[in-house]
Amino acid sequence: MNKYIFGTLLLIAFISASCDYEYLTDGGVHDPKVDMTTYDYLNTHSWKVFDTLILLIDHNNMKDELNRAGTLLAVTDYSFKKYMLANWTLDSLKKHVTADTLRNYLFEQPILWADLSVEAKDYQSISGKELQFQLKEQTDGYYSEWTASPVYRLAINRVRESSTSAINYCQTSNVQTNTGVIHAMENMHVFNFGYH
């Protein structure tokens, strides 16, 4: 009988110790301010997802121009990979991606989350390309599972003559460095908005 009581107590103690009531913690409100330049943020990012972007910025001698820009739409290595699938290699990418192409992702003014709304707003990149910035409400369960409040993502689209292109979302937005604002395009984004 004592064996059963001891075994039951041991099982209860084990189950109690293995329960983690704080399995879902967020660490509080995120501070969007980063105490470094835009270039340094990209270059020292812990996940190293901006290596190709840094390589092309260095190749085109654009470090100072990047740090002068008010806003950068940062493109990840995954976006460049999708772009290169059109018969290019990393070496030929240096030849085809010029400084003007990279300027499609730079804006003179800081574009902050607080400046945006659900109504699309046009901004002109340093290269002269018109892009629409818009907050889009996400209604599927993936984004709203843990909250009753509306969830918005930043969508950025290239403006065409009669309509806008496919939706390009940001995976991280409103990172405020000492020199500007970074909105990181999601990994599914194709560099240069799919144009060759």
Q: Look up the pTM and report it.
A: 0.83
Residue type present at position 138? Q
Integer CA distances (angstroms), 96 to 105, 147, 172, 173, 191, in order: 16, 44, 27, 27, 12
Q: Strand runs (DSSP E) across 56-120, as ranges?
A: 71-74, 106-107
Q: What is the mean pLDDT of the chain?
A: 87
The contacts of residue 190 (CB under 8 Å, 6+ apart) are 79, 82, 83
Per-residue pLDDT tens over the stretch 68-107: 999 999 999 999 998 888 767 878 888 889 999 999 999 9
Give me the pLDDT at residue 104, please: 95
Give me the pLDDT at residue 16, please: 67
* Structural domain boundaries in the chain: 31-194
DSSP assignment letter at 22: T
Give me the pLDDT at residue 109, please: 98
Question: Domain 31-194 sits in which CATH superfamily?
Answer: FAS1 domain (2.30.180.10)
Give me the pLDDT at residue 143, please: 76
Beta carbons of 24 and 146 less than 8 angstroms apart: yes
